[in-house]
Structure 1
């Protein structure tokens, strides 16, 4: 193998397990597998995996020891599937407060008379009294005081994240900038503005993507900052995006992270298949919280419009179908029928079979059926 200057790490941080592959300066490969959450043993599984490989103690890693850390994570994916993101406010042009809920009025099942709309990621709406025409002419300037009152009320109610999506704001950005400035003055910690998140025509897709970014970015940022702080500034840290490319930790945001972990799986699947002489392959990636299915026929399949966990998104990503079903998906009886997921037992407490007081999960069902052998459990 080629000689490299320092250690290189490739990490897949899932909801239940974290897998670490490391390459030493002399080309040797080594691996580690850890529970993603194990508070009695370590603060973060990815960082702990790096430390175990390097036999390093606590504190930032020495400069020059690690050449690169590249990571894919399902932190955003699982937060979306389990609806555990940051409570979010939607700021939208007056009269369009229910536009995202109405959506495109599509009927996924044509002959179903009772239409069930997906729950929205935002919990509160602030309608902004403003209007810009399609040609940029201003019908109504932003009502500064009214906007301030509406956003302050939301901030006082405890909301820290706001998604701003105004009609024609993708092209004529001045009004969105004004609203963002007010939100910043009021102390909102996450401000996602549609023309920055995705400057694309069509309010519904742009608005949904902006809401998803506001909903997921705080969760993602907390994790990225935690990992970056543990590794130290001297360690280059890159994250896999939904489109299959890498980005610096500081530029990693919610709307690009939804398929971060699954995208890494697709790239790995494709390269492994190529090395084995196959150019057509179907991927089935089942983890603890979700299952991802993908298709590769010689080139990566990408899309810019997708529905993930019932959420419409307009962002470049690999074509992956994700469902909230994994080994840790919780099995329960709701009074009428047996249900599986979308909630997951995660790494802590984990499935009942982990002997940590967890709930009944898909893993436990496989133990009872004899498909998993308890004698092989650690």
Structure 2
């Protein structure tokens, strides 16, 4: 997509840091990088701050840019359950489809297991008449009275978004379109399954439609604020590795769930083409999570991905994500065993060594104590590391375990590495691939600190 005589700016907004790579296209190609702490409550703030630091504070300077953006806004909202108030509309007798799901259990032999979250509360589930048959014919017409009843109920419920998922709408979308046209409320974000995911299996189609609707106000609000602030076109990375305009991205939030990590795989494939290699295992370790994927000549995509407990039927890169990153918190469980993650210190307050109020020990603190990071390091602008705070955070764990601070720090690193090693084996050995036939490529802010030990363990 880069255009002649225009600079290209890549922006990756993660859970802990927001990174910028500026490619200046002139007589001589020049690459500049910048890193700033993310602002999870308002991600666009970190982006604006970073662009100002790179010298793009005014509209004229930004107009000369081609901006490609990978974002975790949709991902984080899903994992944290920060959804818009959404009404789910289905055929009569099918309003509980999303709650019933596929009746699968994450731990098959567990005697006790936590109940899966209910995507939509029952009071926000509406049913309507009208029915399309499995062959696409009409069994029952959708009447004007059905429409009026729905509109009346929506006025009482006052949702922020609406998801419409009718049986066999992928064969005949007319009933769904009729409902959407009747709603016609610019203040409501409305999604219909025949547009979001026109395939059979009403549960997967319904989840995708509900995710698109419930994330729509979050993503469109973020994209809108970013566009208003930057006053320049933005290309957004999708979960499939392709880019779309910000306007299209705002309407298809469900396609952004792996927006950030997908860009890294595109970069690996491009580099592989330049050096004559085609088989890679990617290892992307950031501050909050680690993403791993296998490339065997091409970037594999899947329609059977998951985000948290939810199946996502839209195309996305085939990637495995675990809660292990530089900000992963170490603790002692009820059995007296040292554990690491998945809870993360994130960007606020961050690891103890950041000196921003964090008190819990993290993987980054352990790396600092072991000398793998040095106090003189600058992680984002003027953010320096405080080894005294890192040691102070790890000391209570060391006391409980009757170990030295250094031994405890090494234990934290080994446990985090074990989590990541299992993830790498899951996408390679467990799928019948010999890791020795692949190049292990690391990226992400913390990747280089751990990749050598992981390569040895493989």
- TM, length-normalised to structure 2: 0.72
* Equivalent residue, structure 2, for 1:240: 237
Shift of 1:190: 1.4
1:79 is matched with 77
More strand by share: 1
Residue 152 of structure 2 is matched in structure 1 by 149
Distance change >3 Å, CA 224–CA 333, structure 1 → 2: farther
C-alpha spacing 1:177/1:339, structure 2 compared with 1 (3 Å): farther
Across the two proteins, how many residue pairs are aligned to each other? Answer: 367
* Contact map agreement 2:353 2:365 (CA 8 A) in 1: no
Question: How far apart are 1:88 and its partner, in Å?
Answer: 2.5
Give matches, 1:197-276, under 5 Å. Answer: 197-232=196-231, 235-252=232-249, 253-276=252-275
Higher helix share: 2
CA displacement at 1:332 relative to structure 2:
6.5
Say whether residues 1:18 and 2:18 are aligned partners.
yes
Alpha-carbon shift at residue 334 of structure 1 (Å):
8.5
- The CA distance in 1 between the partners of 2:264 and 2:116, in whole Å, is 28
Verify: 1:48 aligned to 2:45, yes or no: no
Contact 1:162 1:188 in 2 (8 A): no
Q: What secondary structure, in the 3-state scheme, does the structure 2 residue paired with 1:111 have?
A: coil
* Relative contact order, higher structure (CA 8 A, sep 6+): 1
Higher mean C-alpha displacement, 277-286 vs 118-127: 118-127
What TM-score does the superposition give when structure 1 sets the normalisation length? 0.85
* C-alpha contact 2:132 2:169 (8 A) present in aligned 1: no
C-alpha distance in 2 between matches for 1:341 and 1:83? 19
Show the counterpart of 1:70. 68
CA deviation profile, 1:280-314 (whole Å, cap 9, x unmatched): 21112122222211111111111122222221111
Q: What is residue 6 of structure 1 aligned with on the other side?
A: 6
- The answer as to whether partners of 1:131 and 1:140 remain within 8 angstroms in 2 is yes
In structure 2, C-alpha distance between the alignment counterparts of 1:92 and 1:288, rounded to whole Å: 40
Maintained 8 Å contact 2:44/2:225:
no
**Could you say what the CA RMSD is over the residues aligned between the two structures, in angstroms?**
3.0
Q: 1:6 touches 1:64 (CA, 8 Å); kept in 2? A: no
Deviates more, 1:72-81 or 1:125-134: 125-134
Matched residue SS, 2:59: coil
Give the secondary-structure state (helix, strand or coil) at the position aligned to 1:8. strand
1:256: Cα distance to partner? 0.8
1:88 aligns with 2:86: yes
For residues 1-378 of structure 1, what are the structure 2 equivalents within 5 Å?
4-26=4-26, 27-37=29-39, 44-53=45-54, 55-57=55-57, 59-62=58-61, 64-66=63-65, 68-124=66-122, 125-134=124-133, 135-139=136-140, 141-142=142-143, 143-155=146-158, 159-185=159-185, 188-232=187-231, 235-252=232-249, 253-329=252-328, 344-358=344-358, 360=360, 362-363=362-363, 366=366, 370=370, 372-377=373-378, 378=384
Q: C-alpha separation between the residues in 1 aligned to 2:268 and 2:23?
A: 19
Evaluate the alpha carbon distance shift between residue 161 and residue 345 of structure 1 in structure 2; reply closer, same or farther with a 3 A threshold. Answer: farther
Which protein has the larger Cα radius of gyration, Structure 1 or Structure 2?
Answer: 2
Q: Deviations over 1:249-279 (max 9, x none)?
A: 1101211100110101111223334444432
Name the SS of the counterpart of 2:90 in structure 1. Answer: strand
Task: Flag the 1:63–1:302 CA change in 2: closer, same or farther, 3 A.
Answer: closer
| Paired residues of 2:56 and 2:62 also in contact (CA < 8 A) | no
CA contact (8 A) 1:9 1:69 kept: yes
- Structure 1 portions without partners, runs of 5+: none
Query: Could you tell me how far apart the structure 2 residues matched to 1:116 and 1:87 are?
Result: 24
Q: Secondary structure of the equivalent of 1:61?
A: helix
- Structure 2 CA distance for aligned equivalents of residues 295 and 231 of structure 1: 36
* In 1, Cα distance between equivalents of 2:41 and 2:257: 25
Q: Deviations over 1:29-66 (max 9, x none)?
A: 111111122999x962223333332x243x42357522
Q: In terms of mean alpha carbon deviation, does 328-337 or 141-150 score higher?
A: 328-337
Which one is further off, 247-256 or 95-104? 95-104
Change (3 A) 1:221 1:332: farther
Q: Give structure 2 stretches of 5+ with no counterpart.
A: 379-383, 385-458
